[in-house]
């Protein structure tokens, strides 16, 4: 038997023992959309997460949603009412965000001219990733007769310790190296652009509040130093994100009370040149990841060499991360349950796989669960972020999963 992560709070069994998501039984939700596999996301859990975050963070801190975590248009529309801005990383995401009538900023290397033009025309803030991108943006804005909103994304000299994905601290395709950022700020201001500030993102998926707090202190200090060098105070400093969620055995949630206290102190003690600046944090999976459940149905139960396998109609084509094939070195089990017997006792060890013809398609490896048979539903938790759009949906031609919001 192998361990798995803990099921996040907010999920309980109904009177019939089935998993309830947003107060509705898993079978009722499947019936509503017609079939499995199905991603369900409880917006009430997201609202609660944001409310708790706002309660402990500095009052003036803006909270942005990084929609790459989950760009489902209905979810983005709901998030636009809950947060202070939407951060995007492509023209496709930008179109979804702009349709939600929110403040939008656009980061990411390799923006094509047509993407820059669409962003400038829509009044979106561009987080510049290089001097070359700045020149292209300025030329496009001049042709359009528009004053562009330009921020400078900085590649910091430090990274977020303990992060699952490091975005700074060395040679990176993201942002302008810190020792060149001030010069670029001076240049875009001299060219008449509406300079919107700095975007400084050092890493993601960190659970250590002290490490995140230290990175935020370094980020504020770096923003102040660059502002002094540029002789211009930034309207906004985007501190990046970094807050992770506890996917695996032994993981613990970020202590946001401790983080909020530390950031409040950091901003209270910020250098004078940042006294009039606004600050934001950019969060994706932290806001929506724990609110999502992936439901798939068992189509076969078999025994091979004494090991039980439950074969489902889902798999890595919808949920690459949960199968251990998206950024993890050692495969570990996400929290998984038999949704149709959610309150039943776990009495046997089984592995749960998808329907794809590859040994990589393993949803859960030798976990202890209730006895399950064809027709039962499997629930994979922690799947509100980096699910369908981070997976090879067209692999082997099985088709997309359905998606559903509840309590929106």
98 and 132 inside one domain:
yes
pLDDT of residue 201: 85
For 137, the domain range is 71-283
Instruction: Give residue-wise pLDDT tens across range 58-95.
Output: 998 999 999 999 999 999 999 999 999 999 999 999 99
Q: Are 189 and 247 part of one and the same domain?
A: yes
Query: Taking the CA atoms of the chain, what radius of gyration do you get in angstroms?
Result: 23
Strand partners, 348: 369
- Mean pLDDT taken over the chain: 94
Task: Give the total number of structural domains in the chain.
Answer: 2
Asked whether residue 339 falls in the same domain as residue 402, the answer is: yes
Average pLDDT of span 343-358:
96
Instruction: Confirm whether 370 is domain-assigned.
Output: yes
Phi, psi of 151 (to 5 degrees): -115, 165
The domain boundary residue, chosen from 245, 263, 283: 283
Q: What are phi and psi of 46, to 5 degrees?
A: -65, -45
Residues 107 and 127: their CA atoms lie apart, in Å, by: 5
Inside any domain, residue 325: yes
Distances (CA, A) of 110 to 94, 127, 175, 254, 322: 15, 12, 11, 32, 28
Are 188 and 147 in contact by the 8 Å Cβ rule? The answer is no
Cα torsion angle, 274, 276, 278, 279, sign: positive
Claim to verify: residue 158 and residue 222 sit in the same structural domain: yes
- Let me know if residue 3 belongs to a domain: no
- CA 296 → CA 29, 87, 218, 377, 402, distances in Å? 12, 31, 44, 6, 11
One domain, residues 223 and 312: no
Non-local (6+) Cβ contacts of 91 within 8 A are 112, 114, 115, 118, 119
Peptide bond into 37 cis (omega under 30): yes
Question: pLDDT tens across 165-204, in order?
Answer: 555 556 666 789 999 999 999 999 999 999 999 999 887 8
- Are residues 31 and 126 both part of a single domain? no
Q: Is residue 175 part of a domain?
A: yes
Choose among 376, 388, 384, 391: nearest CA to 406: 384
Residue 129 to residue 182: CA distance in whole angstroms: 13
- Residue 7 resides in a domain: no
Which range (23-32, 317-326, 375-384) has the least confidence?
A: 317-326
Residue 310 domain flag: yes
Tell me, rounded to whole angstroms, the distance of Cα 17 from its chain centroid: 31
- Regarding whether 376 and 339 lie in a shared domain, the answer is yes
Q: Which of 266, 283, 300 is the last residue of a domain?
A: 283
């Amino acid at each position: 038997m192998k361990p798995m992560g803990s099921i996040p709070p907010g999920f309980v069994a109904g009177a019939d023992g089935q998993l309830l998501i947003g107060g509705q039984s898993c079978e009722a939700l499947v019936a509503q959309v017609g079939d499995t596999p199905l991603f369900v996301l409880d917006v009430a859990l997201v609202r609660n997460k944001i409310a708790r975050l706002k309660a402990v963070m500095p009052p003036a801190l803006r909270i942005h949603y990084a929609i790459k975590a989950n760009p489902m248009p209905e979810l983005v529309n709901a998030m636009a009412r809950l947060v202070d801005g939407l951060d995007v990383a492509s023209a496709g995401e930008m179109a979804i965000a702009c349709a939600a009538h929110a403040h939008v900023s656009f980061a990411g290397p390799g923006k094509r001219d047509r993407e820059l033009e669409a962003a400038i025309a829509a009044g979106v803030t561009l987080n510049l990733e290089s001097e070359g991108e700045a020149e292209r943006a300025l030329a496009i804005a001049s042709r359009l007769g528009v004053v562009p909103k330009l921020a400078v994304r900085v590649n910091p000299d430090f990274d977020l310790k303990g992060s699952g994905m490091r975005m700074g601290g060395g040679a990176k395709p993201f942002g302008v190296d810190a020792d060149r950022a001030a010069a670029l700020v001076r240049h875009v201001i001299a060219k008449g652009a509406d300079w919107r500030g700095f975007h400084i993102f050092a890493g993601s998926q960190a659970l250590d509040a002290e490490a995140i707090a230290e990175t935020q202190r370094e980020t504020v200090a770096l923003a102040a130093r660059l502002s002094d060098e540029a002789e211009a105070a930034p309207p906004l400093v985007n501190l990046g994100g970094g807050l992770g969620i506890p996917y695996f055995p032994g993981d613990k949630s970020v202590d946001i009370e401790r983080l909020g206290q530390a950031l409040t102190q950091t901003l209270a003690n910020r250098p004078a040149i940042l006294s009039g600046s606004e600050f934001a944090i950019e969060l994706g999976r932290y806001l929506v990841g724990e609110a999502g459940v992936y439901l798939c149905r068992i189509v076969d139960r078999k025994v091979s060499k004494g090991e039980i396998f439950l074969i489902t109609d889902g798999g890595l084509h919808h949920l690459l991360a949960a199968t251990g094939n998206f950024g993890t070195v050692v495969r570990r089990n996400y929290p998984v349950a038999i949704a149709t017997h959610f309150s039943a006792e776990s009495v046997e060890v089984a592995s749960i796989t998808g329907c794809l013809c590859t040994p990589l398609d393993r949803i859960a490896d030798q976990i202890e669960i209730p006895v399950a048979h064809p027709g039962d539903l499997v629930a994979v938790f922690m799947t509100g972020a980096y699910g369908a759009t981070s997976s090879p949906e067209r692999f082997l031609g099985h088709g997309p999963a359905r998606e559903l919001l509840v309590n929106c």
